[in-house]
Amino acid sequence: MQDLANKYRQARKGNTELVVVEGAHAIKHALRFGAEFIHIARLEVSEALDVLEEFGTPEEVSYVSKHSEVVSECLWSELAPNPPDTGIIALAKRPSTAKDFTGETVVFIENPHSLFNVGAIIRTAVAAGVTSFAMSGRHNIWHADCVSTARGLNFALEYVNVITNKELEQLAKAGGYTMCTLEVGGDNITSADLPQKKVLVFGTERDGISQELSDMATKHLALPMREGVSSLNLASSVAATLYSL
């Protein structure tokens, strides 16, 4: 019991080769996009299977029903200190990190501060058809907070961990991508002529894009906003950008 609880504790922080996936919707998405689960725990009185029957497929319901372990309240409190309301939680193997960008549009976030913002961005990016995601900074997209906010859609992306801005520039050039920043003073995105293959570069929540990244970019874009409004939340900015395209 303690060994299992410790695996969940370590994976929750995003610093192991395992990923904590919390809640029926996140497990459904992770399963749908190829996650390999090593353990699924649920309470005896749980909404998980009902939720999966309503929003999932018969195959997903069958998989979770067959492979999940009904655990005691005591063990559940160890595995899920902030329990999802659907009463189910799981451990999955972390996918390998991608080495190159794929698809037409890549979303890159420079040194984000909030894992919840990152999770919201991932959820929107996948919905909008993005297949490659990259970011720099100290955060890990496999932290439980990010996976939970993204509803498990982390598994639907190829993730590239970028250490430096120069590395981002090299990856873009190698793949034939044009770097496009979203920043104050850029061209109106709704009328800009954009290349087919592009890396959309977003800055931090507080400070925006660094000067170094701005200098590296070929195109500088901006979302049109009402006069007097200076900025959007980072996740909102990514969502508005992707759907305006």
pLDDT band of residue 1 (cuts 50, 70, 90) is: low
Each residue of 55-98: pLDDT tens digit? 999 999 999 999 999 999 999 999 988 888 899 999 999 999 99
Residue 100 lies in a domain: no
Shared domain for 218 and 139, answered yes or no, is yes
Domain final position from 66, 93, 120 = 93
**CA 169/CA 215 separation, integer angstroms:** 11
Instruction: Return the percentage of the chain with pLDDT > 90, whole number.
Output: 76
Count, residues in the chain: 245
How large a percentage of the chain has pLDDT more than 70? 100
Check which CATH number belongs to the domain holding 215 and give it. Answer: 3.40.1280.10
Token look-up 């929107």 returns 124
Task: Read off the pLDDT band of 245 (50, 70, 90).
Answer: confident
pLDDT over 70 at 225, yes or no? yes
Q: Which of 163, 153, 161, 140 is nearest to 16 (CA)?
A: 140
Q: 155 in helix, strand or coil?
A: helix
Q: Which of 79-83, 165-169, 211-215 has the least mean pLDDT?
A: 79-83
Q: What is the pLDDT of residue 104?
A: 93
Name the residue range of residue 44's domain.
2-93
Number of domains in the chain: 2
Give the helix, strand, coil percentages of the chain, each rounded to 5.
40, 20, 40
- Confidence band for 204, pLDDT divided at 50, 70 and 90: confident
98 domain-assigned: no
Any bridge partners for residue 106, and if so which?
132, 199
Taking residues 37-54, report their average pLDDT.
Answer: 92
How many helices (H) and strands (E) the chain has is answered by: 10, 10
Mean pLDDT value of segment 99-110: 93
Rounded mean pLDDT, 126-136: 95
Indicate whether 108 pLDDT > 90.
Answer: yes
Distance of CA 155 to the CA centre of its chain: 8
DSSP structure string for 68-84: EEE--HHHHHHH-SS--
